[in-house]
Amino acid sequence: MIDNETAVFGRLQQSLIVAVLILERVEDAVPVAEALLEGGVDVMELTLRTPAALGAVREIRNRVPGMLVGVGTILNVDQISQVLDAGGNFGVSPGTNPRVIEAALGAGLPFAPGVCTPSDIERALEFDRKLLKFFPAEPSGGLKYLEAIGAPYAHLGVKYIPLGGVNPSNCNNWLASPLVGGIGGSWLASKPLIEAKNWNSVREAAAYAIAIRDGVYRAKKV
């Protein structure tokens, strides 16, 4: 499991941009995944907030092999096996539930729990979790807050994926932080775009996010 987790999370941290989606219809899964991939975004998280989510994961895994597909909003132990059965590459939760983390690790599912406080971080570290979802990112204090609570654990190599309020106007600041191992963006494939089947706009949003990412890292190298 460790080797698989290293490969999966290594790819996520190399890509840095994670499209976060809520899908109401399974038939939208492949077109939106293809549009994101054409725009350069090859990691996505489908949230378990609708009955279509797991079916959408199966469709993407079967028909869009270039996409790394994670599953978010994992809230209970039973969902771990459901995610694995659907072919999910990794799991994410909004909080730090020890029972869910333990079940994910026992089942071999690469897993990133959600944190918002130092106590959350320490609870995750008990399970050797070094890639954590920071949620809700902007409402809880943004990058300044993350830098404050993350400082005591930086020497351990902990990285965070902020989600919640991250958007095109602030994602460059998040990406520039050494604490950030990727950003989650729901704007990349928003509900209105999906409902309208506006795959061209999804493609353009993905390409724009990739351009911001590449610009940040070119600036870092100067």
Catalytic residues: 45, 133
CA distance linking residue 34 with residue 41, whole number of Å: 9
Span between the terminal Cα atoms of the chain, in Å: 37
Burial class (CB in 10 A: 0-12, 13-18, 19+), 71: buried
Asked whether the beta carbons of 18 and 43 are under 8 A apart, the reply is: yes
Sheet holding 183-185, edge to edge: 111-112, 90-92, 68-72, 43-47, 17-21, 183-185
**CA distance linking residue 7 with residue 163, whole number of Å:** 22
